[in-house]
Structure 1
Amino acid sequence: MKRIGLLLVAATLVGAAPPERVDLIIRGGTIYTGSDAPFVGDVAVSGDRIRAVGARLPFAATRVVEARGLIVAPGFIDPHTHLGERLLGEDAQARLIPGFLMQGVTTAFIGNDGRGDPNIAATLASARTRPVGINYAAYVGFGDVRSAVVGKADRAPTSDELTRMRAMVASAMCQGALGLSTGLFYAPQSFAAQSEVVALAREAGTRGGVYDSHIRDESSYSIGLAAAVDEAIAVGREAGLPAHIAHIKALGVDVHGQAPTIIARIEAARAKGQRVTADQYPWSASGTTLAAALVPRWAHDGGRDALVKRFDDAAVAERLRSDMALNLRRRGGAESLLITEGAYRGQRLSDVATKLALDPLAAAMAVIRTGDPNVASFNQTEEDIAALMRRPWVMTGSDASDSHPRAYGSFARKYDEYVRKRKVLSLRDFIERSSALAADTFRLKDRGRLRPGAFADVVVFDPTAFAARATYAEPALLAAGVRTVLVNGVLAVADGKLTGAAAGRGLAQTPPAGSCP
């Protein structure tokens, strides 16, 4: 009888169907799907998609990634970067965007601050001939559109020019743009009236886009922080599209402590049904150029050559110095501006002034004459940063740009500093606001969550080691703690090291039916 029983078991096993085979399984990690409470389980991947997510998945796999004790999450999505030159450039290594991959960032947006090429089709198609390490989507930039039609002058567009600008935005949207981005703080965009912005934003909204804005004033430079937030909300309302405030902050001594006021304004609009969101980077220093930080907007009329000539114009010398002095005070003084590139890299403006035997304003003009270096501007308080970070409509962003550690460490720093150490956010909140919130806000289909059928953009990181290594002195150090990254199902990071795979894609938005020719 015992022999017969064994034969029956053997026959059953022989007749049983073999387990389904998948390309890769991430086994035994603590899974945060982007929507659900965490659980220990597996993620199975076939091709570029997630096949299944669950506990003890019954699949055989060509490759197994052991994730016991690690966090498994959707690949992070960065809604505000300045990576266009790298992603579209000739340098294949730079196109991998290693600083992002080593933080688990698998998708980034470009064309922010109004600096987005209207030729969206070419921007997105570039990934097919110049492979990239991460996915990217693109905005059409108000600044690029306005400069192409109106130029650098401080004037309103003519009726014909406005029509041409609207047509450029509409065309870009039909090519797959995310929406319209603006940088109303920067000349020549700062010369535009709100009505002009609304006219162009309406073209984006008609075609399913978002209005993304570096608002006109994050401080007290012109209309003030509160009024600039109101303007962004008004543009979204009047143009009929979601409004997104880029790198939200209270910048400078005049507006420190105003985060609660800004939060109240945004949440009042949201309570009325308007879609308003924001992104934020977890650093107390912003990044800009020395001229943008100190030189008043009126002095930028006509572009850089005209600006430099004004430095020697006796007729405007007193006004120029007076306005620059006000801006320096807003920024917290010469000690608060750290030059991060060029001949004076690593020096505060106060140090440069001492070296040149000039007062800080004269020193700034001397530096700007030879270029316009990036600066780290220490201008925010931790209280404001934390207050904004806690809001459920604020997602993680980097504003990634050269010479600032935010390009290499924003997501890692937010986890290490504000989840682990300061307990401002829970781990689940951090993950969802770094992935699903952005995917939902910007209509990224099948991204931002770990679920069957979604694209396999996945990060696996060590919760005891995930941290930024980049600093203001050394801004290009890769983050620590990421063990595995998948981009469209391809291993971009394995065993904590870059594989060199370039599996990213240009992500085109699909306009609503009937909104494009």
Structure 2
Amino acid sequence: MRRTRWTISTAAVVLAAAFTSSGTAQDVGADIVIRGGTVYPGDAAPFRGDVAIKGDRIVYVGPQAPGPAKRVIDATGLVVAPGFIDPHTHVDNALASSDPAARLVLPFLTQGVTTAFLGVDGSGDPDMDKTFGRAKIGAEGMMDGFGQSTRDYGINFATYVGLGAVRLKVIGPADRAPTAAETAKMTALVSDAMCAGALGLSTGLFYAPQSFARRPEVVALAKAAAAKGGVYDSHIRDESSYTIGLKGAIDEALAFGREAGIPVHIAHIKALGVDVHGQAGAIIAQIEAAQKAGQIVHADQYPWSASGTGLSAALMPRWAQDGGRAAMLKRFDEPATMAKMRAEIADNLRRRGGPSALLITSGPSGAEGKTLEAIAKDAGVDPIDAAIDILKQREAGVASFNQSEADIAAFIRRPWVVTSSDASQGHPRYYASFARKYALYVKDKKVIDLQTFIDRSTSTTADMFGLSERGRLERGAFADVIAFDPNRFGPRADYTHPTMLSTGMRFVVVNGQLAIEEGEVTGAAAGRPLPRTPKPGSCP
């Protein structure tokens, strides 16, 4: 573990604590005791007391830790909780960076996020050794069946194997069904990845070329993940009215789960766009009917009215993306093709709320931080022409303001919907999702209470995905603990300033090491890859 000192001039940060167990009053010989905070253990009532840590484990949770400790932290007035678990992120590049500072993932630590899931939306590389940063070593050097990581990380992370990554490796970007041999090759890649520690199979069926995948292909890969005890995680085919509609896309995901015999997780659940506003209640009823019928189904959600995606994903017809970016650019120069394309782009722009509802968050110089409407006005062109001009230069990221607060609140209230960020560059959700959910939906709007927020950011998430010994403050669990000031914990990032670190986290402990101490980043890189152990007997 490397340890250097970093400072955050704007953020006070959170510390870690442990879970309520009826431990015996013995001398625990703790390295750290977090004393006198209001302890929210995760899936249990809060109490005022102590959390004691020795090495990378919690050794006591209760009213008063016995015996001496090397370090006592006064948590009076602070909320002490398990480290938050984010089940849908795009911090793969940060964790794969050659820069140790990037691998700390400060936007997460300053919100109390100590564990993240990667490889979402079908992006997960089937090469688990690469993702986990571990050397390909022989059996004599293995620990618990997996190679040791060769890098240091600020947070813990698990990963999916992705349909998109597997499909591109075997088929490429073309709009066609796989041959029998290609299907066998793809299922083998998924099986191997599962045996090497993948959580399950992720898909992004909204995005080309994954949008070209049909039921037999998806079910075959999901069955390969199911055989090893995995989860099916889906950015569903349509969150709006693009193709099969929101209800149809939920039906499809549920059908995949039933046919493959695999738990279904709906990524960043939402009702996206003017055509489906108000449908949250119907979608909730649809999912809960499946649950009552015995199917395992759950979801995550980020607390923002604007989604984040690519400009081409938001506006371009899927047929126009067949063959990849080069083929799409070529179609821009074909008048007959463009005439057909313009009508569909116009309808996609309408369902997104119009050009004023699309904010460019990354892209060509001069476009970032402006709406598509403003860019078109400045250039004196139609918004569709402005969008095509941007795409001719490079792909652009957008924040798309497309959800209603009523739908957001309806999903937040469901016990099977947990907190996530969908963290991506250029959108404030990377820096502030957990802080915003607390500040806006717990403190301000009171949509849920504090214990519900903590449980659905920790223990509920851990239980959904089988993360053993994390997500709760209890004796024997790994010491991922946070402590925050309930009066100050909140977001600073917004859509025009998306990279402002959140405030109010006083202490953050990752695997027993202080990553944030009195609002300062210590530089401790105590995070770990968390390869999932496959179903017993399912792997060689």
Assess same fold via TM > 0.5. Answer: yes
2:108 equivalent to 1:90 = no
Change (3 A) 1:312 1:492: same
Task: State the shift of 1:128 in Å.
Answer: 2.6
Residue 454 in structure 1 maps to residue 473 in structure 2: no
1:221 pairs with 2:242: yes
Listed one character per residue, the Cα deviations across residues 140-188 of structure 1 (whole Å, up to 9, x for unaligned) are 0100000111110000000000000000000000000000000000000
Q: In the aligned structure 1, how far is the partner of 2:28 from the partner of 2:189?
A: 50
Counterpart Cα distance in 1 of 2:28 and 2:280: 53
* 2:368 aligned with 1:345: yes
Q: Could you say which structure has the greater relative contact order, defined with CA pairs below 8 angstroms and 6 or more residues apart?
A: 2
Q: What TM-score comes out, normalization by structure 1 length?
A: 0.96
Alignment partner of 1:24: what SS? strand
For residues 250 and 386 of structure 1, the distance between their equivalents in structure 2, rounded to whole angstroms, comes to 12
Deviations 1:191-214 (A, max 9, x none): 000221011001001101000000
1:152 aligns with 2:173: yes
Distance 1:315 1:35 in 2: 59
Q: Specify the alignment match of 1:10 in structure 2.
A: none
Equivalent residue of 2:418, what SS?
strand
Distance 2:236 2:96 in 1: 26
What aligned pairs does 1:72-111 form with structure 2 within 5 A after superposition? 72-111=80-119
Separation (CA, whole Å) in 1 of partners of 2:118 and 2:286? 27
Q: Distance in 2 between matches of 1:489 and 1:230?
A: 43
Q: 2:523 aligns with which of 487, 500, 503?
A: 500
Q: Which residue of 1 aligns with 2:267?
A: 246
Write the letter of the residue equivalent to 2:61.
V
Unpaired runs of at least 5, structure 1: 1-16
Letter in 1 for 2:503: A
Distance 1:292 1:372 in 2: 10
Greater fraction of residues in helix: 1
2:63 to 44, 55, 61: 55
String of CA shifts for 1:205-254, please: whole Å, max 9, x gaps.
11010000000000000000000011111111111111000000000000
Partner residue of 1:388 out of 405, 411, 417: 411
Aligned AA for 2:49?
Answer: G
CA contact (8 A) 1:121 1:176 kept: no
Aligned residues: 501
Partner SS for 2:427:
coil
| Distance (Å, rounded) in 1 between the aligned partners of 2:360 and 2:338 | 24
Aligned residues: percent identity?
60
CA–CA separation in structure 2 for the residues paired with 1:187 and 1:488: 39
Query: Which of residues 503, 512, 515 in structure 1 aligns to 2:535?
Result: 512
Say if 2:90 is the partner of 1:69. no
Gaps of 5+ in 2: 1-24, 135-147
Q: Deviations over 1:282-332 (max 9, x none)?
A: 000000111111001110000000001111112212110000000000000
CA–CA distance in 1 between the matches of 2:488 and 2:462? 26
1:329 corresponds to which letter in structure 2?
A: R
SS in 2 for 1:77: strand
Query: Cα RMSD over matched residues?
Result: 1.1
CA separation in 2, counterparts of 1:84 and 1:360?
33
Give, in whole Å, the separation in 2 of the partners of 1:32 and 1:134: 21
Shift of 1:19: 4.1
Q: Distance in 2 between matches of 1:424 and 1:238?
A: 36
- Alignment of structure 1 residues 114-263 onto 2, 5 Å: 114-126=122-134, 128-263=149-284
1:359 paired residue among 378, 382, 392:
382
The 3-state SS of whatever aligns with 1:460 is: strand
| Native 8 Å contact 2:28 2:60 kept in 1 | no
Structure ID, larger Rg: 1
Give the distance between the partners of 1:345 and 1:88, measured in 2 at CA: 25
Q: Do 2:43 and 2:460's aligned partners in 1 also have CA atoms closer than 8 Å? A: no
